[in-house]
Amino acid sequence: MEYLNSESFAKEQDANDKLNKFRDYFEIPHINGEESIYFTGNSLGLLPKKGKNAINQELEDWGKLGVEGHFEAKNPWYSYHELFKPLLSQVVGAKESEVTALGGLTGNLHFLMVSFYRPSAKRFKILCEGKAFPSDQYALESQVKFHGLNPSEALIELHPRDGEQHLREEDILKAIEENSEEISLIMIGGVNYYTGQVMPMGKITRAGHKAGAIVGFDLAHAFGNIELKLNEWGVDFAAWCSYKYLNSGPGSVAGIFVHERHENNSELPRFAGWWGTPTDGRFKMEKGFKPALGSDGWQLSNAPVLSMAIHKVALEIHLQAGLENLRAKQKTLTGYLEFILKEISNNNESIRFEIITPKERGSQLSILTHGSGKPLFDLMTKKGVIADWREPNVIRVAPVPLYNSYRDVFRFGKIISESLIELN
């Protein structure tokens, strides 16, 4: 597509956008009396309007039925989590038995690592990103310490080369090969939260398995953002949150993937709970944990129905829009943003924008600001832009194809230009 930095171009693209109607499915925050430019779907997605009715349905059933709602509600609570299997399996490229909606992201990672990080005297190291999201860093460090190991010895942290901002594929694969006899687990973010880099998950998985390691991914910034083929890639396990690109609400229910080759292995160690037992025998209340098949065997407690109500609505909207349609618009929408940013940077002497997100990306662009970055960000915010600042000097923006428009991108560029003039 040949881009133009003009409002007429943006309006034309919106008029031809087959996903344009989905913007009206969401509540857009207002600033200064008009719709904001909401470019923070990579941190918290917007509220689906149907979510309110979905929660009210469960509240009404609770009020009318009390505990009987577990079996008599419109969507019975006892089997509520089962509603998500056909939806989640499409989003992450999995079989229905491999996915379950449950828990929170970091808690789920811990529960999965109980099963899949099994260090030995020789093979005890975890290969990970050096610039992972802090929660991942804390989780990995604490898992290592839990096994009586020293993080400085057990963690292999991957960093970009000097002067570069993101990891090279060849460096990741080389690190796996060089440490093949000591790696027990590879645990990497599918999309780096800071740079927006999409990791070559299929290649990492193949290399990790060749080295004899287990391979898992944190998909917090990948879930609902990029194409995933977890079953085909052979990933051992993965976990994600649902409140970013999937718009399921702050702190909403997360989810896990466990590859089918592990689903019948009842000998895998795990922290067990009642809800992780097979449905047909759960009310026998028998002693001795026997896991349900597939990812359901990692469940602990019954479904958090109120948060799941919005999660179900959000997933249905996402799939109604169509995964291929979302990826196609994402490519042109984020490409348009990149075009406008480069044009502004080339025509302004007071600041230079360096996009540190590689071409292997989803919706997010991370902009390294050489100049008055924080004052610019603060002024943009006052003018109606909701974006994200990361120290020391990066602005993260993510035009989400489900509800952002080409006019949003044009208005964003206009506000930046105006702000730079004011700051000078």
Q: pLDDT band for position 50 (50/70/90)?
A: very high
Looking at the chain, the whole-number percentage of residues with pLDDT higher than 90 is: 92
Average pLDDT score over residue span 56-70: 98
pLDDT band for 283, please (50, 70, 90 cuts): confident
- Percent pLDDT > 70 in the chain is 100
Q: Say if strands 47-48 and 26-27 run parallel, antiparallel, or are unpaired.
A: antiparallel
Mean pLDDT throughout 260-285?
90
Average predicted confidence (pLDDT) for the chain: 96
How far is Cα 77 from Cα 200, in angstroms, rounded to an integer? 38
What is the mean pLDDT of the segment spanning 108-136? Answer: 96
Q: How confident is the model at residue 35 (pLDDT cuts 50, 70, 90)?
A: very high
Tokens describing residue 398: 């993510």
Token representation of residue 416: 């930046």
pLDDT reported for residue 364: 98
Mean pLDDT of the region 408-422:
95
Tell me the CATH number of domain 7-47+322-423, given options 1.10.760.10, 3.30.360.10, 3.40.50.300, 3.90.1150.10.
3.90.1150.10
| Averaged pLDDT for residues 360-379 | 92
Whether the per-residue pLDDT at 324 is higher than 80: the answer is yes
301 has a pLDDT exceeding 80: yes
Using the Cα atoms of residue 255, residue 256, residue 257 and residue 261 in order, give the sign of their dihedral.
negative
Question: Does residue 43 surpass a pLDDT of 80?
Answer: yes
Look at residue 28 and tell me whether its pLDDT is greater than 80: yes
How is the chain split into domains, by residue range? 7-47+322-423, 54-321
Task: Give residue 45's pLDDT.
Answer: 98
Following DSSP, what letter does each residue of 50-90 receive, concatenated?
A: HHHHHHHHHHHHHHHHGGGHHHHSSS-GGGGGGGGHHHHHH
Segment 122-150 mean pLDDT: 96
Q: What is the mean pLDDT of residues 108-128?
A: 97
Q: Give 148-194 pLDDT, tens digit per residue.
A: 999 999 999 999 999 999 999 999 999 999 999 999 999 999 999 99
Predicted local distance difference test score (pLDDT) of residue 348:
82
In this predicted structure, what is the pLDDT of residue 220?
98
Q: How confident is the model at residue 292 (pLDDT cuts 50, 70, 90)?
A: very high
Question: What is the Cα–Cα distance from 151 to 52, expressed in whole angstroms?
Answer: 45
Residues 6+ apart with CB under 8 A from 399: 39, 333, 334, 337, 363, 408, 409
pLDDT above 80: residue 103: yes
Q: Which amino acid is at 348?
A: N
| Confidence band of 142 (pLDDT split at 50, 70, 90) | very high
Q: 54-321 has which fold?
A: Aspartate Aminotransferase; domain 2 (3.40.640)
How far from 28 is each of 24, 48, 395, 403, 404, CA to CA, in Å? 9, 10, 21, 9, 10
pLDDT value at residue 352: 87
Residue 47 has what pLDDT? 98
pLDDT value at residue 212: 97
Residue 264 vs residue 244, higher pLDDT = 244
pLDDT score for 351: 81
Q: Are 294 and 261 in contact (CB under 8 A)?
A: no
Amino acid 148: pLDDT: 97
Residues 187-201: tens digit of each pLDDT = 999 999 999 999 999
Q: Which two tokens mark 331? A: 């490519």
What average pLDDT does range 404-413 have in this prediction?
Answer: 98
